[in-house]
Structures are given as C-alpha cells and as structure tokens.
C-alpha cells in the first residue's frame, strides 16, 4: 500500500530531507510539535511497529542509530525525545513506521 511517506521516498513529492541512506530517510515534519521535529522512516514499507518481523530487527536498530547520528550532527545529542505511535488509537496517522525526533523545547512527562 502506497503512503505519503512512500511518495517522499520515491521523490514524487518534496520533503526537507536531513539524512538519507540505503535503508532510511529523515525529513522535517510538516506539522512540527517542537522547534526540531524530524521523522525517521525505513525505506522498507512496514505499516506500524507491531507489524515488524524478526527479519526487521537490524533495520529497527538502524533507525535508532540514525536517530542518534542525526541528533549528534544537529547538536541535539543530549536533549531529544523519540516517539513512535502504533495504530490509529495511539495517534498514528500515516501507516508507514516512523520515529518522531523532538527537541528544542522542554518536553514534559508523561507525554500524552
């Protein structure tokens, strides 16, 4: 199933891309919830985290590594939050697995 994120991966629609490699893409969220709000997505279409299989373990770890690498590159390595929503009731609106990297303002707990 093609999603908005698939179209971004395929360069069919523009995005403010921060990082890209063979497995992942990082771009700015168009509706930011913090001064820095990036989306980290796998190029492999996985609808949500609970749909990931055992074969996706390395890819999931890679996404976490990418988050840290991007945070270091942007000077955020000490203060950021990663969030993933799993399913519509959890707030997921695009059904292509993605991590939200949020930074640049105080982040409260609990988050929601």
Catalytic residues: 98
100-112 CB burial, b ≥16 within 10 A, e <16: bbbbeeeeeeeee
Neighbours of 6 (CB within 10 A): 16
Q: What tokens does 70 get? A: 């991007």
Q: What tokens does 55 get? A: 């074969």
């Amino acid at each position: 199933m093609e999603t908005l994120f698939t179209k971004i991966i395929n360069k069919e629609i523009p995005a403010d891309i921060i990082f890209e490699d063979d497995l992942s893409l990082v771009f700015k969220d168009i509706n930011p919830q913090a001064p820095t709000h990036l989306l980290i997505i796998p190029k492999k279409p996985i609808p949500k985290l609970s749909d990931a299989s055992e074969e996706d373990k390395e890819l999931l770890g890679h996404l976490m590594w990418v988050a840290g690498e991007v945070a270091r590159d942007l000077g955020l390595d000490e203060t950021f939050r990663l969030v993933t929503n799993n399913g519509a009731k959890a707030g997921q609106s695009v059904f292509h697995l993605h991590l939200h990297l949020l930074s640049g303002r105080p982040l409260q707990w609990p988050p929601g």
